Amino acid sequence: MNILIKQGRLIDPRHRVDAVQDLYVSNGKVVGIDHAPDDFMPNEVIDASGLIVCPGLVDVSARLREPGNEYKASLKSELHAAVAGGVTSLACPPDTDPVLDESGLVEMLRHRAKQLHLSNVHPLGALTRQLAGKQLTEMSELTDAGCVGFSQADEPIMDTLVLWRALQYAATFGFTVWLRPQEPYLAQGGVAHDGEVAARLGLKTIPVAAETLALATILHIVRETGAKVHLCRLSSAEGVAMVREAKQQGLHISSDVSAHHLHLTEHDIGFFDANCHLRPPLRSQRDRDALRQGLADGTIDLVCSDHAPVDDDAKLVPFGEAEAGATGLELLLPLTLKWAEEQKVALVEALARITSTPANILGIAKGHLGLNAAADICIFDPAQYWKVTAANLRSQGKNTPLNGLELAGKVRYTIVNGGIAYRS
């Protein structure tokens, strides 16, 4: 299929392109930029005047709830949500049921996703069997099956020796380990930030120290082993400062923040809004401001959706009993644009944090629009506002703390591997 995308504002962060140009797509590849290849005859012409044409978004954390939790969401429903949000590649954590700790499970997931012809799915394999934190998985076999890294999702490794051995082994073979820093004993039973709101509402808390103590351990082991670690979902000002210092020391680390944590604080819990029960918890305004600044200055490398659809029954309970998580795939782009506008960050820099940078960290050949690149493309209207409502979300999970909010940035087309996967 040949597609001509006419007169859009082409923004390609990797190649530092920001100009109104035509883009030519053929057989799943970008075959021309501003100049048509010889004998190019389009099957479809997209008039992108007034729209932005950028690489398809790359999301490093999207739970698809399959296998094992199809009552919450399905591969099909969430990949439709992904393309509606302009996400053409995503990484899914291994906390499915069964856990992604065997190569056969990874191969089956990838095969099923490929059959849908929607977003590209790149699984993270389990770092330990059953995510139990005791026995390492066969990382080489999982890599051969298609895993792009190894993670414990939200399950901690209690035994520091196991964590040490895991990073030591990963370093030997060049695997990337994805870890969310949280000291399990300090966080045990907690559901909210240890601050004034939790104190007023009487909620069990998770102190910032739960993040910083775990970070200190991880960074020390990284320093000793030389492992390559991606730190997931930073939530505190102290955590950002520690990562900044570690990067200055040359440690091989990267980090991310969820789009929700860039905009919300503990005060958004209001009167026990269970949709604000997130993991890690929403923290203070000072923490949120540090996250926003850390993303702007490059201490934090990228933004992710941390998409976690939850069924209504799991949210229609008291805050402390509600399941943590929120839908996010369709909010990643508008929330990143909102952060960029408020922080006065150039659009090309903002888009880098949800396209080329996550692709680099995942080690996948995505996130750019150079000649012969995979034709994974997002075309969106930066000026069109839309309201976040259950009816407007494609995800099976309608749970979001942003319900009713109007956001700028509406995806008009999503092209995956040269085919139109979504149009509005």
Would you name the residues annotated as active-site residues?
306
Residues 31, 42: contact at Cβ < 8 Å?
Answer: no
| SS3 state at 176 | strand
Whole-number Å distance between alpha carbons of 307 and 82: 10
Strand partners, 62: 307
Going through 263-376 in order, the beta strands assigned E by DSSP cover: 302-304
What is the full DSSP assignment across 164-227? HHHHHHHHHHT-EEEE----HHHHTT--EESSHHHHHHT--EE-HHHHHHHHHHHHHHHHHH--
Contacts of 202 (CB under 8 A, 6+ apart): none
Whole-number Å distance between alpha carbons of 89 and 60: 8
| SS3 state at 258 | strand
What residue type is assigned to position 256 of the chain?
D
